[in-house]
Amino acid sequence: MPARTGQQYVEGLRAQEREIWLGGERVRDVTTHPGLTGGVRAIARLYDMQHDAKLKKVMTYKSPSSGDKVGRSFSNPKTRDELETRTQMMLNWARASCGMMGRSPDFMNVTFAAWGAAADFFGEKRPEFGDNMRRYVEYLRENDIVLTHALINLQKSRNVSGMFNLEEGTALQVIRETSAGIVVRGARILATLGPLADEIAVYSPRLARHSEDHSPFAVSFSIPCGTKGLKFLCRDSFDLGRSHFDQPLGSRFEEMDCIVFFDDVLVPWERVFLLYDVNRLNAVPHVTHSTAHSAHQGAAKNLAKCEFVLGLALLMTQALGNAHLPHTEERIGELMLTTELTRACMRAAEADAELDQWGVMCPAILPAESTRNLFMTAYPRMIEILQLLGSSSFLLTPSEKDFSGPLAPQIEQYLATDSIAAKERVKLFRLAWDVAGNAFGSRQVLYERFFASDPLTRARALAAVYPKGPVMERVSEFLGRSDEEW
Ligand SMILES: Cc1cc2nc3c(=O)[nH]c(=O)nc-3n(C[C@H](O)[C@H](O)[C@H](O)COP(=O)(O)OP(=O)(O)OC[C@H]3O[C@@H](n4cnc5c(N)ncnc54)[C@H](O)[C@@H]3O)c2cc1C
């Protein structure tokens, strides 16, 4: 099947009954639920972009198996040019959501594309798992499936080592095998896009330090969201049901986060990619290079987000007439710096990309991973800057209805600035509030702090791939210089 349209995506969601809970009630149809429909529409729009005459060439490519035009994020680039075209595709999607849908489908697509190319690694000890991966990646690509994922086990207590505390009865584990598959039980977080996805992928992040070689917690699989025993529990929706004027981002880009309960869920054998093999589980992101690909996708999302926040800040200061003040310039300069550092890392990952042992043009790991670590602190700072620039204007934001209410004349008169009419100012600052103030915006900040795991794990992840030898040698060489040497 060629790349899906938005309508086909929506029909796919309707066709699959699933157990989604929101606000104490079971959601019967995610496509029409007021707290979820905005997000469904947003993903549908992304899918429609695959059929836009102007974008199609970038958004799709020719499937290696069917010859159909399929989504480009499923591709395995062979050259730097192909890698950059994939970046353009990801940027198109990220910019369409102002960078606010961090788990747009390309996030998982690039991961599975890498795993498909490296399927032999999954099949090294158990060849059937390699075949499962190959078949599954083809299925994803040819059916343009939307995946959510839940990597993190809930923990009842923390140990000081920073290792995951895997507890029976809480963490997801395999409880038995049957002739049909494995049965899993436990809870996982945090399935962003859960109600809006067709299938859920379950695996564990790098540095998931299980203590044994053979562990019932070491498992990787994918199943349809409607699988029996699978329950998604949503947080409150941050789509307040308001107009696009009143809540421009929340009314459009609510991607939802869920706890996922697995009540003795049967995972068919053909959907199992890894089982009990702790060392392999920990090695997957590195050996397959999926971590470089997903970091690179994240960099595109981060760049789109930086550009949007910077553009917003410039418009805010223009509207308020404070753009020329020195401390405003300093803050705007900081936003520009973060934007350009992000772009530079993304581009460096492409420029230094190399063909890996799986025949895939792999983005350079260091700049790609660096964007993840950078954004954990850079994005909260960007939002702090917006708050400092906007001050009380964030709250001088009457609703759309107020502009036709009895106070409209006062609003029009007193909220105008030298450069902008009252309604334009309010529209702008309601957008700024969605980015930097309300629940939707606060979740974005939390998201970026933990997008790719917690700060300790991120620091360790970067340290694990950083080539420490050359910099230490440089210092050792200096220390070893004789008095005669310069
Ligand atoms: C908005 C949002 C969306 C997300 N979407 C997804 C998703 O789609 N899929 C997915 O799989 N995950 C998702 N995540 C989960 C994310 O990967 C986790 O939040 C992240 O890995 C951190 O895990 P945690 O929340 O359990 O933090 P915790 O482990 O509870 O950590 C909380 C804090 O305590 C510190 N800490 C914890 N344990 C120790 C220790 N032993 N020693 C020292 N410090 C410690 C951490 O560094 C951290 O600062 C999402 C998270 C957010 C916030």
pLDDT at 216: 87
Structure tokens at 55: 């974008």
Would you say residue 193 has pLDDT above 50? yes
pLDDT (tens digit, 9 = 90+) per residue, 155-191?
777 665 555 566 667 889 999 999 999 999 999 999 9
* Furthest C-alpha separation in the chain: 86
- 111: CA distance to ligand 1 center in Å? 20
Would you say residue 225 has pLDDT above 50? yes
The verdict on the CB of residue 9 being under 6 Å from ligand 1 is no
- 287: CA distance to ligand 1 center in Å? 24
For residue 313, give the amino acid letter: A
**Where do the structural domains in the chain lie, given as residue ranges?**
6-284, 289-473
Mean pLDDT over all residues of the chain? 95
pLDDT band at 207 (very low <50, low <70, confident <90, very high): very low
The verdict on the CB of residue 257 being under 6 Å from ligand 1 is yes
pLDDT > 90: what percent of the chain? 90
Identify the residue whose C-alpha is closest to ligand 1 atom 27.
454
Would you say residue 58 has pLDDT above 90? yes
Would you say residue 208 has pLDDT above 60? no
Identify the residue whose C-alpha is closest to ligand 1 atom 39.
162
Q: Are 6-284 and 289-473 equal in CATH topology?
A: no
pLDDT at 215: 87
Which atom of ligand 1 has the smallest separation from the CA of 158? 41
- Assigned CATH class of 6-284: mainly beta
The verdict on the CB of residue 442 being under 6 Å from ligand 1 is no
Contacts of residue 341, defined as CB under 8 A and 6 or more positions apart, other chains included, come to: 374, 378
Q: Tell me the best of 159, 163, 172, 190 to mutate to test the pocket of ligand 1, counting ligand atoms within 8 Å of each CB and taking the most.
A: 190
The verdict on the CB of residue 191 being under 6 Å from ligand 1 is yes
- 96: CA distance to ligand 1 center in Å? 27
For the beta carbon of residue 72, count every other beta carbon within 10 angstroms. Answer: 27
- 452: CA distance to ligand 1 center in Å? 8
Which atom of ligand 1 has the smallest separation from the CA of 151? 11
Beta strands 199-202; 214-224: pairing state: antiparallel
Q: Are 396 and 432 in contact (CB under 8 A)?
A: no
Structure tokens at 333: 């300069």
Structure tokens at 172: 């997801």
State the average pLDDT over residues 349-359.
98
Alpha-carbon Rg for the chain in angstroms: 24
Would you say residue 46 has pLDDT above 70? yes
Would you say residue 6 has pLDDT above 50? yes
State the average pLDDT over residues 434-460.
95
pLDDT (tens digit, 9 = 90+) per residue, 237-292?
999 999 999 999 999 999 999 999 999 999 999 999 999 998 999 899 999 999 99
CA distance 453 to 461: 10
The verdict on the CB of residue 456 being under 6 Å from ligand 1 is yes
Q: Which of 96-105, 137-146, 455-464, 468-477 has the lowest mean pLDDT?
A: 455-464
pLDDT band at 388 (very low <50, low <70, confident <90, very high): very high
The verdict on the CB of residue 17 being under 6 Å from ligand 1 is no
The verdict on the CB of residue 355 being under 6 Å from ligand 1 is no
Quick one: fold of 289-473? Answer: Butyryl-CoA Dehydrogenase, subunit A; domain 3 (1.20.140)
Structure tokens at 291: 């971590």
pLDDT at 475: 97
Tell me the C-alpha to C-alpha distance, in Å, between residue 168 and each of 172, 174, 187, 196, 411. Answer: 8, 10, 11, 30, 59
